[in-house]
Amino acid sequence: MKYLIKGFNYLVVLLTPIIIILGVVRLVLSPMFLKIEYRMPNFPEDEFGFTIQDRLYWAELSRQYLVNDAGIEFLEDLKFDNGSPIYNERELNHMSDVKRVLRGTMDVLLISSSLMIIIGLWAVLGKWWKRFLKSLESGGMLTSGLIIGIIFFLAISFNTFFVGFHKIFFKGDTWLFKYSDTLIRLFPVRFWMDTFIIVGVLSLLIGGGLAYFIGKVQRV
């Protein structure tokens, strides 16, 4: 039993950054993020004519598709005033891939959170709560370390990170588009730079805060 508990403590350390980072990703998928992001200082205007209101409208519908249970027809049915579809076939295929990847990550978040709750309850009932808290503290520090490393890499070469990220999760060049495509007009590189930075900063604050407060409680 001693070694089993030790193993679960290591698992808590590993689950902590997964839960924090993916939890923040889900938070960023809220409507509020779009409203803030498009109004950020020096956010690039769309050279093909989208206003902020246009971007908010079409981006919000795209966001809804990613978090709802609808099929790709949800986006296929969207049309501009002239009757042309907002997304071409290549863009629709990519959005379908994005939804698949996102669903997978949210499943990981759900499973990880469920495991953490179960282990936490076991720690309370089994009277090894302090060891569980210590593992959470270590998990918070691990999260902070990972995020600092990622932010440092982003600062050195965002493009390398961005390309590598897409090569891991998407096949071939299916994620590359023309500047005139709706996806790029709605979500330019600046949008993704800000998104990664916000996810990183929030995860760093949560991970660091978790480690600090648990450490403080344990010293009382």
What pLDDT digit, counting tens, does each position of 99-120 carry?
999 999 999 999 999 999 999 9
Measured between alpha carbons, how far apart are the two ends of the chain, in Å? 29
What is the tally of structural domains in the chain?
Answer: 1
CA 120/CA 125 separation, integer angstroms:
9
What pLDDT digit, counting tens, does each position of 28-40 carry?
999 999 999 999 9
Contact 94, 175 (CB under 8 A): yes
CA 31/CA 220 separation, integer angstroms:
40
Contact 16, 113 (CB under 8 A): no
Q: Which residues span the domain enclosing 124? A: 2-219
CA 9/CA 1 separation, integer angstroms:
12
Crossing angle, helix 89-125 and helix 2-28, to 10 degrees? 140
List, as one string, the DSSP characters of 189-216.
Answer: HHHHHHHHHHHHHHHHHHHHHHHHHHHH
Give the pLDDT mean for 166-194.
Answer: 90
Residue 105 one-letter amino acid: T
Look-up of token digits 């996102």 = 102
7-21, 59-73, 170-184, 201-215: least confident range? 170-184
- Whether the per-residue pLDDT at 220 is higher than 60: the answer is no
- Whether the per-residue pLDDT at 81 is higher than 70: the answer is yes
Give the pLDDT mean for 176-205.
Answer: 94
Contact 185, 50 (CB under 8 A): yes
Query: What per-residue string of b and e applies to 49-58 under the rule 16 or more CB within 10 Å gives b?
Result: ebeeeebbeb
Q: 44 to each of 41, 91, 136, 206, how far by Cα in Å?
A: 9, 21, 40, 30
18-22, 153-157, 175-179: least confident range? 153-157
CA 188/CA 47 separation, integer angstroms:
11
The reported pLDDT for the residue numbered 215 is 86
